[in-house]
Structure 1
């Protein structure tokens, strides 16, 4: 039977001359009024090492910790479900290799596919993406996304396959939202939102289309690749096990930008782009047929 103990991120510290204080998951310090409770016994209770108290004072403090959400049963790590273990990895080995290692350690069964690693390659068709009936497809590019490359992959959620991707543009890398159901954010939605959010939309569109003149290539170092792989693996693990997001934006509505020079991660909310309804045709005037236009 799991015992009650402090939830991850919450810690209790003894402050000289002031008693106990709790450090919350948000990094704030709060004083603990222990009353007549024995502090050593109380610390044992909060760590899950003590037995149920019989005195009222320690029970009062424990109830206060429970009410604040600082105390819970020790959670068991949810296993990776068998029907979601098959993860297909496409893209650059510099990113797919560390991602495969993370996923295997979490209980998934990643399959790297080296045949479609080149960004300039022809777009991959749906039959190739669905080959082997994967639970999810992840595509990692060490460069910008060529026009049309992910067009077929954007339809994976409609086939019951989760869709996750990342790419690099110079010193900036982008981890796009995981799409797991029809109506989730696709790569086309992200491109449309990014174009709408910048006054340099013509320049950004030209950058994506190419060609681009570059000097020395931006190196994708091991720490940067490991960070990107860890972010992708965490998103996949939360999707597979149903683990809720602890903080920040929901994974399926979040675009993350990673500065590869400082490894700083910035989150941006992103929503699907609604389908545009066709422009209705004008009805002819009542009681007659439309009059054709004439020049002059």
Structure 2
């Protein structure tokens, strides 16, 4: 049986019901006296009289099939920092099966090879880890494993791009395009190398705010993807600035294979 969508409101009127949909539109439903019970009871009744009403409510997003994961398996989360603290509980609260790999440097190559029954991998860190992200990206692409990432850079926190399949961008595409678009490509590459070697940026007191923002965006992506819907973060990097509250979305286009072979600074 179809379920009522969350966020729907049913307001009783003299002639029936006023429905406020999850998309913030309004529908009016007129019913005769003998059917003026509750809307859920009315929708549960069998009969041709309800066919048109049910169809309209489905089209308006008021009714939908019960949400069941379209992709079996766990969401595996690994990494360190504020995101690792807030993301797994949020994923679990959204009804997703979550598995956390312990260890600041996970997943290691051996752990990646041993992953089984995984619907998607999420890697979260306190700052950008260029070499690590590139190795994970190569592994996930070769095994057609969807993967998402979240990290801080400067004072901003970033999510994505969420790689869901061969036609969507991933970290390798983001890396090439960032270096190509930057007015300081050598300096940017040098900063990444410093971070890879163990360099630590100054702690940001607003980091928990940014981590919560990015955790919410990653969770929305995974929940949509694993229930068969299009995730808004597929092929997109989202940046959240906790100092200003601004969230910006940057589409990332896949880079043609021949350009990926060009040596970057």
Q: TM-score, normalised by structure 2?
A: 0.72
For the structure 1 residues 134 and 14, does the alpha-carbon distance in structure 2 shift closer, same or farther, using more than 3 Å as the test? closer
Helix, strand or coil for the counterpart of 2:168? coil
1:52 aligns with 2:34: no
CA distance in 2, matches of 1:173, 1:78: 30
For the structure 1 residues 153 and 39, does the alpha-carbon distance in structure 2 shift closer, same or farther, using more than 3 Å as the test? farther
CA distance in 2, matches of 1:253, 1:101: 25
Which is higher, the Rg of structure 1 or of structure 2? 1
Match of 1:101 in 2: 89
CA drift at 1:218: 1.4
- The count of residues paired between Structure 1 and Structure 2 equals 254
CA drift at 1:91: 2.0
Helix, strand or coil for the counterpart of 2:56? helix
Q: Between the two structures, name the one with larger relative contact order (CA 8 Å, sep ≥ 6).
A: 2
Gaps of 5+ in 2: 261-265
Q: 2:73 aligns with which of 74, 84, 97?
A: 84
For the structure 1 residues 204 and 15, does the alpha-carbon distance in structure 2 shift closer, same or farther, using more than 3 Å as the test? farther
1:1-296 matches, cutoff 5 A: 2=1, 6-13=4-11, 21-28=18-25, 30=26, 32=28, 34=30, 37-38=31-32, 41=35, 44-45=38-39, 48-50=40-42, 52=45, 59=50, 62=53, 65-66=56-57, 68-72=59-63, 75-79=65-69, 84-85=73-74, 87=76, 89-105=77-93, 106-116=95-105, 126-133=109-116, 135=118, 136-146=120-130, 148-155=131-138, 156-197=140-181, 204-205=188-189, 207-210=191-194, 217-239=203-225, 241-245=226-230, 250-276=232-258
Q: TM-score, normalised by structure 1?
A: 0.66
Aligned-CA RMSD value: 4.1
1:18-52: per-residue Cα shift (whole Å, max 9, x none)?
98644343334x46374xx348946723xx12353
CA drift at 1:12: 4.0
CA distance in 2, matches of 1:204, 1:225: 23
